[in-house]
A = this chain, B = another copy of it.
Amino acid sequence: MAKCAFLGLGVMGYPMAGHLVKAGHEVTVYNRTAAKAEAWAAQHGGRTAATPRDAAEGVDFVMACVGNDDDLREIASGEEGALAGMADGAVFVDHTTVSALVTRELAEAAAGRGVAWIDAPVSGGQAGAENGQLVVMCGGPQDAYDRAEPVIAAYAKACRRLGDTGAGQLTKMVNQICIAGLVQGLSEGLHFAEKAGLDGRAVVEVIAGGAAGSWQMQNRHGTMLDDEFEHGFAVDWMRKDLGICLATADEVGASLPVTALVDQFYKDVQKMGGGRWDTSSLIQRLRSAG
């Protein structure tokens, strides 16, 4: 069993850290808002720390799941950051969805202290975190990955190393790029169905098994048709992720015309008040014109 620190007890991190305890690991948590850390410790029986650095001292693995690039820099670097407390040979496993840029930057800083960095963004959403059924996409040194994998297994249904530092984040970007076009296509399809007077659920029953089928069609058509978006993966997060995708696409030289367009459409959704709605809310802006 391993000694772990978990930094960031949000929607995702809170249950993930809980699964580590259930799997028998010794867990110290840190959260910016201390009350959440207290609540977590009360529920799961682990320890809390006052700073990322305190949490990181003496552990084998530091897991993090905070918000964005800046948040990650804040908890990882600096005097009170986790890296300052980590022992030589320890591994930092970052579950935040961030840029490949900050990943390379922090991985290098970590290496300078003898710490291995595994970028390990996840998919599966809140439900996946709660059920311990996340998909974890990793990048980083093979040996550190091999040591981390059995620990990550506590909350993963699948965990895979896709390459060196950054490969996990890049894989997550592929995921988000695919979703952008797909959800817009699905929204246009269902919007057309509504306008044409079809029964959207019946249509989906017929076509979902074929070439137009997708996870989104299967799992989101009902709520889309019912105007229910208070669930799932928030538009604000999606825009953060697409911002990362578009910036990285410039670095690697990939043109993403529809991704860039749909990113603007998601801004429309934000302006309609839908920043916290599920990504499937793209259909709402099609409906808004009448």
Contact = CB atoms under 8 A, between A and B. Distances in A.
So how many copies of this chain end up in the complex?
A: 4
A178 B186 contact: yes
A179 interface: yes
A177 B199 contact: no
Contact of A258 (B160, B177, B211, B258): B258
Interface in A161-181: 162-163, 167, 170-171, 173-181
Contact of A167 (B192, B198, B272, B285): B198
Interface string A177-211: 11111111110111111111111001101110111
B175 A189 contact: yes
Q: Specify which of A199, A210, A261, A272 lies most central, judged by the most chain B CB atoms within 10 Å of its CB.
A: A210
A137 interface: yes
A267 interface: yes
Band of interface residues on A: 35 or more
Contact of A290 (B123, B180, B203, B272): B272
B255 A289 contact: yes
Contacts of A207: 123, 135, 137, 171, 174-175, 178
A225 interface: no
Nearest to A205: B160
B195 A254 contact: yes
A1 interface: no
Interface in A242-289: 243, 245, 248-250, 252-265, 267-268, 270-273, 285-286, 288-289
A215 B215 contact: no
Contact of A211 (B233, B263, B289): B233
B272 A192 contact: no
A71 to B, nearest CB: 18
Contacts of A205: 160
A271 B252 contact: no
A64 to B, nearest CB: 21
A142 interface: no
B271 A289 contact: yes
A261 B263 contact: no
